[in-house]
Structure 1
Amino acid sequence: MRHVFIINPAAGKGRALELIPVIENYFKGTHHKYVLKITEYPGHATKIAREYAESEICRIYSIGGDGTVNEIVNGIAGTRASLGVIPAGSGNDFIRSIHGEYKAKEIVSETISGEERSLDLARANGKYFINISSIGFDADIVYNARKFKRLPYIPGRMAYLFSLIYTTFKNKINEVKVTIDDNEEFDLKILLAAVANGRFYGGGMLPVPDAVLDDGFLDVCLVREVSRFKILTLFPKYIKGEHGQLEYVSFKRAKKIKIESKDTIALNIDGEILTGKEIEFEILKGAINVIYPVGMTTNESVVNI
């Protein structure tokens, strides 16, 4: 089996490139086939992943942040290739749902030696995602956080906190219609909606703390319109996953969800920002194979890892 490492040189302000000698050292003296591919432009990881996934059974590793993971997921969806995640970005949120504390150099060998497990895959307007998608205020935060991430010495979570304050004063409320599994429908003025397969995003925030990667459901957090002051009091709880106690927050669990808006709204798909007026989400149970680092047994509950 071939091991394909797709490396985003911009991820983590260059940290991804530092893992190249670690990978080379792991394979030194072995007969395993491996290849290192460095991305050159946005979307390149998808192209590379698709070329290898469609030509042979292989393991394809993301060495970058959650954006790189998302690109590779869209390249291997529907194939027999497996996804390995070696975090080297600023947020590294997807890996938090399957691995606790880790050291970058150790997780390289642990992932290469790991076992595959079938997890759910989600889709928003035809585009795949494995972790979390969101709309509204939250997507605006992701978009604006990019500006702060480019600054030196600004870690992922701090960039999101700066963006939170900045976005609060530019906030726009959206009136939407929400349809859950074709049998529940309601209108509301929405601050944000997070549609989750995984648990973490935004550098460790917990929008939907009970989400499980292999239960066949999307977990949805809906936050209704609130004042600017309440936004600033919401997010300390939102970060910790304690916002469920707030009266303007509700949770749903669904296989499909549709959100329709009269105005164009921002859509965040694992860190990629798109826009639209009608967004349809769905879950595809067991649709992707993910490599669990060595030591992770298949009978462990994903939510407790």
Structure 2
Amino acid sequence: MVVTRKKLLFIINPISGGKEKKDFEKRSAQFLDADLFEAQYRFSEKPGHAAELTQQAISDSYDVVVAVGGDGTINEVARTLVNTSVVLGIIPEGSGNGLAGYLEIPMIMKEAILLLNKFRVKRIDSGKLNDHYFFNMAGIGFDAVISDRFDKDSIRGPFGYMKTVVSEIGHYKAEDYEFVIDGKHYKEEAFMISLANSPQYGNNAYVSPNASVSDGLLDVCIVKPFPLFLLPKMLFHLFSRTTDKSGYVDIIRGKEILIRREKEGYVHVDGQPIHLGKDLRCSILPSSLCIIY
């Protein structure tokens, strides 16, 4: 029996995670199953280019598009594949790798390629904040401010992120928010709000330990203002998967979410900062993305 090889495109972010990737094609070809895949390789050259390359791959009837990069690269590829039959693969090469971590995709390139060879596929949910897709996490408040600052910083990885947090946390002011979650109304003062499709930001920092990419729900994680001296305890909750046990965190699950804030400003989608208005509408698109896990 003749088996038709699947057309696979690797889209490689050459600068994600501060890692050199010029020889990615040569290194990955050692481990990719050439009997299963007919592979091509393209490098993204600017923000938005990975999405353009993905759209072209759909037009050219590729079966699989593999994002080689961090959460931003994955977002560009994934948002273009929503509600298509083309399958997303991930080679984690970023600073956080939140979605890959949750899906237990190996952080070592060789092991991640070998996972592609198994071609185990499932459908996961996608989140949408106004017109912007996210697959791991979206954030409002302090979370979004940090994403904006971190995006402009030359120091990447967990150290760079914590450096940004420490430099900003002392003078950030909480805001008042109104929420409508599946028709129920809430008012809260919040330090930050995370809209979690998966449990973790990345680097094993779990903001919503019981979130799932396949339950048809988003976890609205409301972090209330807390005394600065409790920051070590809040970080302990974050890294011990116990944020739901903190008295400063409320988690409400829902499908349709409206958030009204006092003023326009930054949000983030999968770590990428975006400037939006006061009214933020968020929804979940169940089982809308095919992914190798």
CA 1:170 to 1:232, structure 2 compared with 1: closer, same or farther past 3 Å?
A: farther
Q: CA deviation at 1:24?
A: 2.7
CA 1:175 to 1:88, structure 2 compared with 1: closer, same or farther past 3 Å?
A: same
Report the secondary structure of 2:41's partner residue. strand
The equivalent residue for 2:112 is: 107
One-letter amino acid matched to 1:240:
S
Q: Is the 8 A contact 1:217 1:253 kept in 2?
A: yes
The equivalent residue for 1:7 is: 12
One-letter amino acid matched to 1:42:
P
Q: CA deviation at 1:67?
A: 0.8
Q: Does 1:60 align with 2:65?
A: yes
The equivalent residue for 2:3 is: none
Q: Which moved more, 1:39-48 or 1:225-234?
A: 225-234
Report the secondary structure of 2:244's partner residue. helix
One-letter amino acid matched to 1:284:
L
One-letter amino acid matched to 2:223:
V
One-letter amino acid matched to 1:74:
R
1:222-268 per-residue CA deviation (whole Å, 9 max, x = no partner) reads 11223333445423322332222222211111111111112113211
1:148-198 per-residue CA deviation (whole Å, 9 max, x = no partner) reads 5x23xx6x22222212111102312221111101x2112221101111111
The equivalent residue for 2:204 is: 204
The equivalent residue for 1:140 is: 145
Q: CA deviation at 1:19?
A: 2.8
Distance 2:270 2:210 in 1: 18
The equivalent residue for 2:161 is: 160
Report the secondary structure of 1:198's partner residue. coil
Q: Which moved more, 1:96-105 or 1:110-119?
A: 96-105
The equivalent residue for 2:283 is: 282
Query: 1:216-235 alignment to 2 at 5 Å?
Result: 216-231=216-231, 233-235=233-235
Distance 2:46 2:127 in 1: 24
Q: CA deviation at 1:100?
A: 6.2
Q: Is the 8 A contact 1:53 1:80 kept in 2?
A: no
Q: Does 1:256 align with 2:256?
A: yes
CA 1:106 to 1:75, structure 2 compared with 1: closer, same or farther past 3 Å?
A: same
One-letter amino acid matched to 2:83:
G
Distance 1:6 1:101 in 2: 18
Runs of 4+ in 1 over 6 A off after TM superposition: none
Q: CA deviation at 1:118?
A: 0.9
Report the secondary structure of 2:206's partner residue. coil
Q: How high is the sequence identity, in percent, across the aligned residues?
A: 25
Report the secondary structure of 1:144's partner residue. helix
Query: 1:163-178 alignment to 2 at 5 Å?
Result: 163-178=164-179
Q: CA deviation at 1:31?
A: 7.8
- How many corresponding residue pairs? 287
Q: Is the 8 A contact 1:160 1:202 kept in 2?
A: no
Distance 1:261 1:14 in 2: 38
The equivalent residue for 1:302 is: none
Q: Is the 8 A contact 1:59 1:82 kept in 2?
A: yes
Q: Does 1:74 align with 2:75?
A: no
Distance 2:90 2:165 in 1: 28
Q: CA deviation at 1:202?
A: 4.3
CA 1:17 to 1:113, structure 2 compared with 1: closer, same or farther past 3 Å?
A: farther
The unaligned stretches of length 5 or more in structure 2 are: 1-5
Report the secondary structure of 1:263's partner residue. coil
Report the secondary structure of 2:286's partner residue. strand
The equivalent residue for 1:265 is: 265
One-letter amino acid matched to 2:186:
F
The equivalent residue for 2:237 is: 237
TM-score, length-normalised on structure 2?
A: 0.90
Q: CA deviation at 1:62?
A: 0.5
One-letter amino acid matched to 1:249:
V
1:72-128 per-residue CA deviation (whole Å, 9 max, x = no partner) reads 012212222110011111211111111165532121122243221111111111211
Query: Alpha carbon RMSD of aligned pairs, Å?
Result: 2.0
Q: Is the 8 A contact 1:120 1:214 kept in 2?
A: yes
Q: CA deviation at 1:206?
A: 0.3
Q: Does 1:21 align with 2:26?
A: yes
